[in-house]
Chains A and B, each alone.
Chain A
Amino acid sequence: MMMGELIELQTLEASDDRVWCVAWNPTGTLLASCGSDKIIRIWGREGERNWVCKSTLSDGHTRSIRSVAWSYCGNRIASAGFDAKVSIWERQGQEFVLQTTLEGHENEVKDVAFSRSGLYLSTCGRDKSVWIWEYNEEENDFACAAVLTTHTQDVKHLKWHPQKDVLVSCSYDNTIKMFIEDNNDWSCVCSLDSHTSTVWSCDFDATGKRLVSCSDDKTVKIWHAYEKNNQEGIRSPNGVYPVWKCVCSISGYHKQPIYDVNWCPLTGLIATASGDNSIRIFREEESKQRDVPPSFSLIASNAHAHSQDVNRIAFNPKEPGLIASCSDDGTVKLWRIEQKLM
């Protein structure tokens, strides 16, 4: 049986207030954090192990910064604020400088995400809308390409597909929706309905054929994409796009809402961040049989990972097993997960 050990490496005193989000840059060398103090901090290594604050970005927002994201080139950071603004920061030498501010949302912006292709940026918020912004290289600016109003409530989280320009959004309306562009028109191509309360977050696996989601209903769900003409004979309602089905529900572990979930592209491990102060790591059970629904087992957890709610969890994209988390307790923590055969 495979078990794991979650080892605490370092606690970074990031803020006197709530830390809402942490995000690794694509090369895994820098970690950005943000929160209620309206400051973005960039953390980097000093020496072999020690992580220190390399720079702080302030004056971008007048209210809490809910989330921060890196572009895939690593030269741009976007931040989403409760002040209804999205700020774009650009690397100039060792520093990041405020380049532009995107306005349009009516009130709190909850999340921001760059597409893998580098062509798009998406934002979402309390006004129930998802905005897609197209990057214009010549003008080095973003222009609004679509305003999607499919959700009926507050939109909490966004995630782009790891290979394609497919956008996924999670909402207070309990659903997950997927959007794609067809003939210059962005539209919702499917809705994933199974959670019974707010969906706080989701993440793709490395192949982009599966998605994990987490919710206020204290469950984690695994979704599988069935392409058109799939062997299982599952019909896509529109005959063109894949249909997503919930194939596994992980329940009974979390005692409070699950605010974030991350699916490591390197190790295949799933990590959750919960309002019960815990971090939990799940691993898929290997199955020799085909056509058997996947099953996941808890291989490691820390019930007191933080002294308050854990808001985000992020696997380092290059270093297998290195994890960052952040919490209402004002800290960012770095962890290592080691897997061993028991």
Chain B
Amino acid sequence: MELSSELQNLNPTIYECTEERTLQESDLNNDVPDNIDCREVFDLIRTINDPEHPLTLEELHVVDLEGVTIDNEANTVQVQFRPTIPHCSMATLIGLSIRAKLIYTLPTRYKVGVNIYEGAHIQEVQINKQLNDKERVTAALENKHLCAVVNRCIATPDD
């Protein structure tokens, strides 16, 4: 994965963010069973930074709540994302950042799938295959240079 110095999308559209989740009384009650839901998974990925703009994936509408599905019975999480432009060379890096964030934060029992929204990229089939090959993802995240870039994307201002 090569990073080019030119901006891929010079003038991206900026979208409004969703409101913060409001705490329910039951959220603080340890006696109430509380499965991880779509909104919680979305909260983990919506603050990921775009590799080239000082904006989050949510602000660029790369991720949205509708693109997240979770099945707690089967322990599967599926995330769909939408590159800002259909020939975006950053698409793999963005997908890798989403995957890395979820691998690092979700309990290990979850099987994570990350895919491009159908029709949102000219190379979606190839990119999806690469993003869901755990051997290649592991090797990529062992690569110091790439790992540093991914970590910059997934770091939040609080870190």
| Cβ-based interface call for B138 (8 A) | yes
Contact B139 A308 (CB under 8 A): no
In A266-293, which residues have CB < 8 Å from any B CB?
Answer: 275-276
Asked if B136 and A154 sit within 8 Å, CB to CB, the answer is yes
* Least CB distance, B7 to chain A, in whole angstroms: 28
Q: Which residues of A contact B24 (CB under 8 A)?
A: none
> How many Cβ-Cβ contacts under 8 Å join chain A to chain B?
36
B145 within 8 A of A: no
User: Closest residue of chain B to A275, judged by CB?
Assistant: B111
Given contacts A154-B136, A172-B133, contact A329 B142 (CB under 8 A): no
Q: Is the CB of A64 within 8 A of B133?
A: no
Chain A neighbourhood of B129, CB < 8 A: 172, 197-198
Contact residues in A for B111 (Cβ distance below 8 Å): 256, 275-276
- A66–B111 Cα distance when bound, in Å, is 21
A64–B109 touching, CB < 8 Å = no
Q: Confirm or deny: A309 has a beta carbon within 8 angstroms of a beta carbon on chain B.
A: yes
Q: Which residues of A contact B (CB under 8 A)?
A: 18, 36, 63-64, 66, 82, 107-108, 110, 126, 154, 156, 172, 197-198, 216, 255-256, 275-276, 307-309, 328-329
- Chain B interfacial positions (CB closer than 8 Å to A): 74, 108-109, 111, 129, 133-136, 138-139, 142
Residue of A nearest to B136 (CB): A154
Q: Which residues of B contact A255 (CB under 8 A)?
A: 74
Across-interface contacts of A256 in B (CB, < 8 A): 111
| Contact B135 A329, beta carbon cutoff 8 Å | no
A18 touching B108 in the complex, CB below 8 Å, given contacts A198-B129, A198-B133: no
Known interface pairs A198-B129, A309-B134. Does A64 touch B139 (Cβ–Cβ under 8 Å)? yes
Instruction: Tell me if B138 and A156 are in contact (CB < 8 A).
Output: no
- One of B74, B108, B139, B142 near A307 (C-beta < 8 A): B108
**Cα–Cα distance between A328 and B129 once the two chains are bound (Å):** 20
B138 close to A308 (CB less than 8 A): no
Interface of A: prevailing SS:
loop
> Are B108 and A308 interface neighbours, CB within 8 A?
yes
Q: What is the distance, in angstroms, from A191's C-beta to the closest C-beta of chain B?
A: 19
CB within 8 A of A64: which of B74, B108, B138? Answer: B138
Q: Closest approach, in angstroms, between the C-beta of A220 and any C-beta of chain B?
A: 19
Least CB distance, B122 to chain A, in whole angstroms: 19
Residues of chain A within 8 A of B135, CB atoms compared = 66, 110, 156
In the bound complex, how far is the Cα of B135 from the Cα of A126, in angstroms? Answer: 10
From known contacts A156-B135, A172-B133, A198-B129, infer whether A63 and B108 are also in contact, taking CB-CB under 8 Å.
Answer: no
Residues of chain B within 8 A (CB-CB) of A156 are: 135
Query: Within the assembled complex, what's the spacing in Å between the Cα atoms of A309 and B111?
Result: 9
A198 to chain B: which residues have CB within 8 Å?
A: 129, 133
What residues of B have a CB within 8 angstroms of the CB of A63 in the complex?
142
Given contacts A110-B135, A255-B74, 8 further A-B contacts (CB under 8 A): A36-B138, A82-B142, A154-B133, A154-B136, A156-B135, A172-B129, A198-B129, A198-B133
B116 to chain A, nearest CB (A): 16
A108, B139: Cβ atoms closer than 8 Å: yes
Complex interface: chain B residues within 8 A of A64 (CB)? 138-139, 142
Bound together, the chains give a CA A172 to CA B111 distance in angstroms of 20
Residue of B nearest to A64 (CB): B142
What's the minimum C-beta distance from A332 to chain B, rounded to whole angstroms?
Answer: 17
**Residue in B closest to A62 when the chains form the complex, CB atoms:** B142
B138 x A18 contact (CB < 8 A): yes
B108 contacts A329, CB within 8 Å? Answer: yes
How far, in whole Å, are A216 and B136 apart by their CA atoms in the complex?
13
How distant is B48 from chain A, measured CB to nearest CB, in Å? 24
CB distance from B70 to the nearest CB of A (A): 16
- With A197-B129, A198-B133 in contact, is A126–B139 under 8 Å at CB? yes
Interface centre among B108, B109, B135, B142 (most CB of A within 10 A): B135
Cα–Cα, bound, A68→B77 (Å): 32
Contacts of A216 in B (CB 8 A): 133
| Given A64-B142, A82-B142, A198-B129; A307-B136 close (CB under 8 Å) | no
Pairs A–B under 8 Å by Cβ, sample size 17:
A18-B138, A36-B138, A64-B142, A66-B135, A82-B139, A108-B139, A126-B136, A126-B139, A154-B136, A172-B129, A197-B129, A255-B74, A256-B111, A275-B111, A275-B134, A307-B109, A308-B108
